[in-house]
Structure 1
Amino acid sequence: MATTYSISDLAREFDLTTRAIRFYEDMGLLQPERSGPGGRNRVYSHRDRTRLKLTLRAKRLGLSLNEAKELIDMYDTPRDTGPQLQKFLLVLDAHKRELEAQMAEIEANLDEVKAHEKEARSLLAKQGEKPAKVAKSAKASKA
């Protein structure tokens, strides 16, 4: 007999709300069987569990749910994995470029903050005042 999971089982295992799992179902990422009176109980298969795990991994990588669904759906027909892997590489490359651009923007903002901080300290020193004590940044405290 194949292993099955309730919505509560998956919610507990992946630290999600049942509402989130129902949302993934509405997006077409999960397709549980229905049982019980009026088909009210969802019964998730090992396939659904794997798709949920891949969906969460895709989210951590910064993919949208639509991108995740497109990639995961490609793996449902594993005859030729070449196209899936090519698509995955394209998506990963696009997200990597986005993250690198965001990182460059953050670094530029940080440099600007440091320049303003240096200028303010210099002006205070000219006035003979000591700069206020400020908490060290997380990066500085880790060093």
Structure 2
Amino acid sequence: MSSQTYSISDLARELDITTRAIRFYEEQGLLSPERRGQERIYSPRDKVTLKLILRGKRIGFSLAECRELIELYDPSGGNTKQLNSMLAKISERREQLEQQLLDIEQMKLELDTAEERCVQALEQTLKSQQIAQ
């Protein structure tokens, strides 16, 4: 009858995160472990939820986006809504990253130009000082 359960330290160790992070996600309403006195008892679903949060964070999703995806989870419905939403978010995130790459390339060009001007100005200053001597 009893499915596997996890303590907070079990999950922290298994997923390589801090117990503080797990408590934070609990405070945010993303996890709802059972309580035995002061002890938190996490279910396999809590573990899956944590994995989804961590995966979402790794690919740049906000906590709100992670929450949205988790709330769409519906194993009886084949998760179509969740998967479509995930695909849309991945596409959106990819577009953001592409824009960031363009912005970084532009910034590098501007740094190159500024550096070149500084080097030229420094060379001019040194030449002027040598002539003055």
TM-score, normalised with respect to structure 2: 0.82
2:15 alignment counterpart: 14
CA–CA distance in 2 between the matches of 1:18 and 1:80?
32
Secondary structure of the structure 1 residue equivalent to 2:17? coil
1:57 alignment counterpart: 55
1:32 alignment counterpart: 33
Q: Which has the larger radius of gyration?
A: 2
1:101 alignment counterpart: 99
User: Once superposed, which parts of structure 1, at least 4 consecutive aligned residues long, lie more than 4 Å away?
Assistant: none
CA–CA distance in 2 between the matches of 1:46 and 1:65?
20
1:61 to partner: Cα distance: 1.1
CA–CA distance in 2 between the matches of 1:78 and 1:23?
29
CA–CA distance in 2 between the matches of 1:55 and 1:76?
16
Q: In the alignment, residue 109 of structure 2 is paired with which amino acid?
A: D
Question: Please, which runs of 5 or more residues in structure 1 have no aligned partner?
Answer: 129-143
CA–CA distance in 2 between the matches of 1:20 and 1:121?
48
Q: In the alignment, residue 92 of structure 1 is paired with which amino acid?
A: I
Between 1:96-105 and 1:59-68, the stretch displaced more is 96-105
1:122 alignment counterpart: 120
2:78 alignment counterpart: 80
RMSD (Å), alpha carbons: 1.9
Secondary structure of the structure 1 residue equivalent to 2:77? coil
1:54 to partner: Cα distance: 0.9
CA–CA distance in 2 between the matches of 1:49 and 1:29?
11
**Alignment deviations for residues 42-74 of structure 1 (CA, whole Å, 9 cap, x no partner):** 011111111101110001111111211111222
2:66 alignment counterpart: 68
Greater share of helix:
2
How many residues are matched? 126
Question: Please, which runs of 5 or more residues in structure 2 have no aligned partner?
Answer: 128-133
CA–CA distance in 2 between the matches of 1:14 and 1:82?
27
CA–CA distance in 1 between the matches of 2:45 and 2:116?
57
